[in-house]
């Protein structure tokens, strides 16, 4: 019988965790899944651990040579037989109802090509809410995809027929941002949605690629955004994308007023383009405006607190949608912290 869901997994030196991850698949309330896991020439006993799991729904493939997670995941995808494709990394944990909830969503919403979910962040075995977690509508996801990656890869379930139209499935040249790139490309085949309840625990650990390869991730993300920005910014799209990848995605502190002004202009152009291209309900417009303001403060707050930009100068380049509330502590606390740090630097670099 052809499975409804094909889970694709790239495995490499994951013997300590992959068994627990697969156990959460075997605990699913929906049993009509297959797992295609490709071991990318692990140097530990990952392959032995995988082969020791006795379940006919699990297919283990041993790669002939190490090629990295993008090629490995593409190979797993090429073997998938299911109507839906589930993403899952070797160290993340699914809730028992993950597949049931996501399949029900896609079955009920034929216009949706991919549904993700919220996730818990697990550090040292302790699950916690993701920082800044909030409700994400399909419209909000579209807006966020212009400046950041709002989804956790291991929560994604998407239609196989749409994914097979991507060539390739994930692009090796976008390594470290290949999931972000896939969302941009698969959006052409339908909307992207998210279930705002955690259906996954995402393990965060010191050996994770997101910490070790931060610079390369930013470069790949900038390349993804440059393609997206080309119709909006033309030939200067790569420069705009690099700024967004560094300061919005990478969260590097904005170093000066000129950079804050440039980023404010980029956000304004993206916002104008999005509003012109999207049929927004009044409520959706309010939500997008609020998120636009939040993104701007994400840029301005560190610049103020580092003393790189003064409050008056920052407010002079703020977008119109950023409303001022006298009760907002940022209007008092952030400039005070920044002034103290700037003063400390003037006395020999102490902070």
DSSP result, 198-219: EEEEEE--TT-HHHHTHHHHHH
Sign of CA dihedral 67, 72, 73, 74: positive
**Mean pLDDT over residues 262-282, rounded?**
97
Is residue 177's pLDDT more than 70?
Answer: yes
Yes or no: say if 164 and 106 are a contact pair by the CB < 8 Å rule.
no
Is residue 332's pLDDT more than 60?
Answer: no
Is residue 323's pLDDT more than 90?
Answer: no
pLDDT tens string 62-87:
999 999 999 999 999 999 999 999 99
Predicted confidence band at 196 (pLDDT cuts at 50, 70, 90)? very high
**Mean pLDDT over residues 240-249, rounded?**
98
Q: Which residue ranges make up each domain of the chain?
A: 5-211, 253-346
**Mean pLDDT over residues 24-29, rounded?**
98
pLDDT tens string 32-66:
999 999 999 999 999 999 999 999 999 999 999 99
CATH 3.40.50.2300 fits 5-211, yes or no: no
CA distances (Å), 295 to each of 132, 283, 284, in order?
Answer: 12, 19, 16
Is residue 207's pLDDT more than 70?
Answer: no
CA distances (Å), 145 to each of 39, 42, 184, 225, 264, in order?
Answer: 31, 34, 7, 9, 17
Helices (H) and strands (E) in the chain, counts: 14, 9
| 107 or 314: which leads in pLDDT | 107
pLDDT tens string 141-162:
999 999 999 999 999 999 999 9
Q: What is the pTM of this model?
A: 0.92
């Amino acid at each position: 019988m052809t499975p409804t869901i094909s889970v694709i997994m790239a495995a490499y030196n994951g013997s300590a965790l992959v068994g627990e991850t697969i156990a959460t698949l075997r605990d699913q309330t929906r049993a009509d899944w297959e797992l295609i896991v490709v071991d990318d020439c692990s140097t530990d006993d990952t392959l032995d651990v995988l082969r020791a799991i006795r379940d006919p729904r699990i297919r283990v493939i041993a790669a002939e040579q190490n090629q990295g997670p993008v090629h490995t995941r593409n190979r797993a995808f090429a073997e998938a037989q299911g109507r839906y494709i589930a993403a899952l990394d070797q160290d993340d944990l699914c809730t028992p109802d993950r597949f049931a909830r996501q399949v029900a969503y896609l079955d009920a919403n034929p216009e949706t090509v991919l549904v993700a979910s919220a996730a818990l962040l697990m550090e040292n075995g302790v699950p916690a809410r993701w920082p800044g977690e909030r409700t994400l509508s399909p419209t909000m996801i579209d807006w966020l995809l212009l400046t950041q990656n709002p989804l956790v890869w291991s929560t994604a379930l998407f239609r196989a027929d749409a994914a097979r139209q991507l060539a390739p499935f994930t692009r090796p040249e976008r390594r470290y941002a290949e999931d972000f790139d896939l969302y941009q490309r698969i959006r052409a085949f339908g909307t992207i949605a998210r279930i705002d309840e955690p259906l996954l625990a995402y393990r965060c650990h010191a050996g994770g690629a997101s910490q070790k390869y931060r610079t390369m991730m930013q470069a790949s993300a900038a390349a993804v955004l440059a393609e997206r920005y080309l119709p909006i910014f033309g030939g200067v799209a790569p420069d705009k994308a690099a700024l967004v990848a560094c300061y919005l995605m990478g969260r590097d502190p904005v170093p000066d007023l000129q950079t804050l002004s440039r980023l404010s202009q980029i956000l304004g152009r993206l916002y104008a383009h999005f509003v012109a291209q999207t049929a927004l309900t009044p409520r959706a417009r309010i939500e997008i405006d609020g998120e636009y303001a939040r993104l701007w403060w994400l840029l301005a707050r560190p610049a103020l607190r580092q003393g790189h930009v003064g409050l008056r100068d920052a407010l002079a380049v703020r977008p119109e949608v950023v409303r001022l509330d006298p009760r907002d502590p940022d209007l008092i606390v952030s400039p005070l912290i920044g002034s103290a740090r700037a003063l400390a630097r003037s006395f020999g670099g102490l902070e």
